[in-house]
Structure 1
Amino acid sequence: MKWANLPADFPPYRRVDAFARRWQVTGLLAEFHDRLRDRVREKEGRRVDPTAAIVDSQSLRAAANIPRSTSGWDGGKKVGGRKRHLVVDCLGLVLAVAVTAASMQDRDAAVPLLERLRKMYFSIRLVWADGGYAGSLVG
């Protein structure tokens, strides 16, 4: 259990876990993340709203208890499991995340991810991507 490995000066792990779950359900965890990202951007002399982003993916091996319906085989990277698709700003700070089966093509997963990004950050004018996103996504 990952919560059991907290530093000794933290409250009991069951209490920390309860707070984290409550913050997740209420959206407070995402709010903390967004506020911290905004503060880092300001401290770096950037505007809070990014104008450019970078999208990429990473295939990860799935644990044995992950259902087959949510995992797949990435033939290019020779990995069975899931794929996380990240959109970050130019500082590397996370803007949006999606998790899919590893078998899903990057450009197919990027469409709903970039649509969600557009709703959250209307200021973004440029998104960099590698060759895995070529094809209909670029058009």
Structure 2
Amino acid sequence: MIADIVDAILYMIRTGCAWRYLLVDCPPSHPVYGHFKQFNERGTTERILDELGELVRHAKGRDPQSSAGVIDSQSVKGADTVGADTRGYDAGNQINGRKRFIVTDTLGLLVVVCVVAASWQDRDARQTHPA
């Protein structure tokens, strides 16, 4: 049963669909979401991702812990449902919405994701999330 729930969580993450649109052969969305929430609150998801990243880096002959990274940002328009307190204006791209920052290691593995108001500058995100 837990394997079915993990499969449903992985499907939802991979496809980006809403919880209520899980496939019919998956367990009901309410308990699946409940487990997903518990995994995240306990840090289980992050530990799994960290362990998998270390295994990939080791398989590629690299140190398990990355020593360098690349930061990238993207501003996206905020939907009408996005609250004014979580959105901002990116003057460079002329976008009113949010900005996402990602950091990847030299193999392209995701290290950090941060979503903030679009008014944030790249230097501000770097200072907020020191690697």
Q: TM-score, normalised by structure 1?
A: 0.75
Q: Specify the alignment match of 2:81 in structure 1.
A: 65
Q: Specify the alignment match of 2:91 in structure 1.
A: 75
Gaps of 5+ in 1: 118-139
Q: Specify the alignment match of 1:40 in structure 2.
A: 56
Tell me the distance in 2 between the aligned counterparts of 1:100 and 1:11: 33
Letter in 2 for 1:91: L
Q: TM-score, normalised by structure 2?
A: 0.79
Tell me the distance in 2 between the aligned counterparts of 1:32 and 1:84: 23
**Would you say the 8 A contact 1:50–1:89 is kept in 2?**
yes
Residue 85 of structure 1, aligned match among 78, 92, 101: 101
Tell me the distance in 1 between the aligned counterparts of 2:39 and 2:79: 26
Residue 23 of structure 2 is aligned to residue 23 of structure 1:
no
| Counterparts in 2 of 1:10 and 1:39: CA distance versus 1, 3 Å | farther
Letter in 2 for 1:25: E
Residue 10 of structure 1, aligned match among 26, 31, 36: 26
Tell me the distance in 1 between the aligned counterparts of 2:40 and 2:32: 12
Identity across aligned pairs (percent)?
37
CA-based RMSD: 1.6
Gaps of 5+ in 2: 1-16
**Would you say the 8 A contact 1:97–1:113 is kept in 2?**
no
| Counterparts in 2 of 1:9 and 1:44: CA distance versus 1, 3 Å | farther
| Counterparts in 2 of 1:43 and 1:10: CA distance versus 1, 3 Å | farther
Extract structure 1 runs of 4+ deviating beyond 4 A: none
1:9, distance to aligned residue in structure 2 (A)? 3.3
